[in-house]
Amino acid sequence: MSTRTRRPHLPRVISLAAGIAMLAISALLLSCSTLADIGTAVGVQQGTISESQAASIKQTASAVEKSFQDITPEQEYYLGRAVGAVILSQYKTYDNQKANDYVNYLGQSLALVSDRPILYLGYRFQILNSDDLNALSTPSGLIFITRGLLRLATSEAEVAAILAHEIGHIEKKHALKAIKNSRITAALTSAALTGAQMATNQDVAQLTEAFGGSVNDMTQQLFNSGYSRTAETEADESGVTILERAGYDPRALVNILQAMRARSKPSSGVDFTRTHPLPADRITDVQKTIGNYKAPGYDTAVTKQRFEQALSGI
Amino acid sequence: MKARFLGLLLLALTAGITYAQSEMSVTVKETQVRERPSFLAKVLATVQYGDRLTVLGKQSGWVQVQAGGQQGWVSASALTEKKIVFQAGSTDVSKTASSGEVALAGRGFNKEVESKYATEKNLDYSGVDRIERYGKDTNALIAFMQAAKLHFGEGGN
């Protein structure tokens, strides 16, 4: 979900640190012709690899620059935890256990029917104490939803629609795609070179720099630039699929988007319309995706009752 | 003669492919081996990050495996064809750097990098740690899914 009434800003210190990290990486790039050169130079200097090993690694590594596809679930986990910590430096949590349990069980159930039911640790859901209309996800499976957005939902299926959309972002690795390939190559090549023995302080410093840069790429996208229209459409499509597989009426996504449209003011800025598809456009797209869906004949009494019990006071 | 040679070559190649796919590694912290390809099926065993499992078959989103003495099903999203190594030799290192056939566990972005990053940025992880401890009650989750009589957990694809 991307409609919000107020956009939080990253603390200046993070942008500054990212700037310094960028400068440091640029300096390295100027002195070495490829990223494989950087890694192998460090490895040889420290005596962790021989000259001949370095030569063979350089030859092959430079041919295979790394991308977000090479990030393992374990790496995703650490990247996602950092993005989660940054989100929690912007938002306070809403700590009503009954409401959070409900959102967790609902979200975890939906994740199980997604194309990526299992992550390194698993999916976790947390309500944020904010009136914004916002939901955010991290690559490690942390999904946040604001009280403001939950208040708009009138049924379990509508809450499910928001969560399913966020699971869609994780399934399609949208956050990871924001990370510059150069950082991933630097990190994974460095990881490989130090794999044979304990990493040195210099290795850890280099990795931390690539890590900080990667986290910054993702949080910039999350808070400032927003996902691309294509990414939002993909997440909506995944959301519809997940809802249908679970047995929810996918038209719940249309309903919640309509509620968001009624509350948001898209005329408030050019940036908003550029970076975030208007709810109206998304509604049209989602309706196309749903097609001639026929609602299942399940009894909604249980979902109605537990939805009201968990979220009536939200 | 030529055809026979090509046939043998094809056979060798196919055999090679089959062999390469006959083992997969667990790519998540831990996951369950289940009696049937469903998240609602009985848990037979728990496997850990890096465990190598023999592949017996595949079915939409699930892989049938041999894990120790047990045969069962693991969600395909928890497995990779890469070999995951904890103590890498030089061959593993160059394979990781070049083809990505090997993943080095605990290397790259890890706990140590996270600690250094948290200190440098003065970033508080306690909220994230607390959220991660939530929602681990599998029985409550199954009860939640079954109460609504929806189709939760019946296959990942």
Give pLDDT tens digits for A3-19: 444 444 444 444 444 54
DSSP string, A108-158: HHHHHTSS----SS--EEEEES-SS--EEE-TTSEEEEEHHHHHH--SHHH
Region of poorest pLDDT, from A50-54, A118-122, B112-116: A50-54
Cβ <8 Å between A108 and B141: yes
Average pLDDT over residues A261-275: 55
A76 and A67 Cβ atoms separated by less than 8 Å: no
- Asked if A36 is an interface residue toward chain B (Cβ–Cβ < 8 A), one would say yes
A-chain residues near B50 (CB < 8 A):
none
Is the pLDDT at B92 greater than 80? The verdict is no
Cβ <8 Å between A246 and B152: yes
B90-98 and A181-193 helices, crossing angle to 10°: 170
- Asked if B94 is an interface residue toward chain A (Cβ–Cβ < 8 A), one would say yes
Query: What secondary structure letter does DSSP report for B45?
Result: E
Residue A35's pLDDT band, with cuts at 50, 70 and 90, is very low
Residue-averaged pLDDT of chain B? 82
Q: Which of A89-103, A215-229, B140-154 has the highest mean pLDDT?
A: A89-103
Q: Round to whole Å and give the CA distance between A220 and A8.
A: 11
What does the block give as tokens for B66? Answer: 């041999």
- Asked if A70 is an interface residue toward chain B (Cβ–Cβ < 8 A), one would say yes
Provide the β-strand partners of residue B47.
B31
Domains of chain B, residue spans: 22-147
Pairing relation of β-strands A142-146 and A124-128? parallel
Q: What is the ipTM of this complex?
A: 0.82
Give pLDDT tens digits for B103-130: 778 778 889 999 999 999 999 999 999 9
3-class secondary structure, A23: helix
Residue A303's closest CA among A186, A204, A89, A160? Answer: A160
Q: Round to whole Å and give the CA distance between B155 and B38.
A: 5
* SS (HEC) of A255-270: HHHHHHHHHCCHHHCH
Region of poorest pLDDT, from A42-46, B6-10, B23-27, B141-145: A42-46
* Alpha-carbon torsion, ordered A224, A111, A145, A273, to 10 deg: 40
- Asked if B106 is an interface residue toward chain A (Cβ–Cβ < 8 A), one would say yes
Q: Round to whole Å and give the CA distance between A312 and A308.
A: 5
Cβ <8 Å between B149 and A13: no
Residue B85's pLDDT band, with cuts at 50, 70 and 90, is confident
Size of interface A-B (CB pairs under 8 A): 218
Q: Which uninterrupted H or E stretch holds A300?
A: none
Nearest to A109 among B103, B108, B144 (CB): B144
Query: What secondary structure letter does DSSP report for A224?
Result: I
Is the pLDDT at B55 greater than 60? The verdict is yes
Residue A129's pLDDT band, with cuts at 50, 70 and 90, is very high
Closest approach of B146 to chain A, Cα-based (Å): 10
Cβ <8 Å between B27 and A120: yes
Residue A199's pLDDT band, with cuts at 50, 70 and 90, is low
Q: Round to whole Å and give the CA distance between B154 and B147.
A: 15
Cβ <8 Å between A113 and B151: yes
Class of the B22-147 domain?
Answer: mainly beta
- Indicate the length of chain A as a whole number: 314
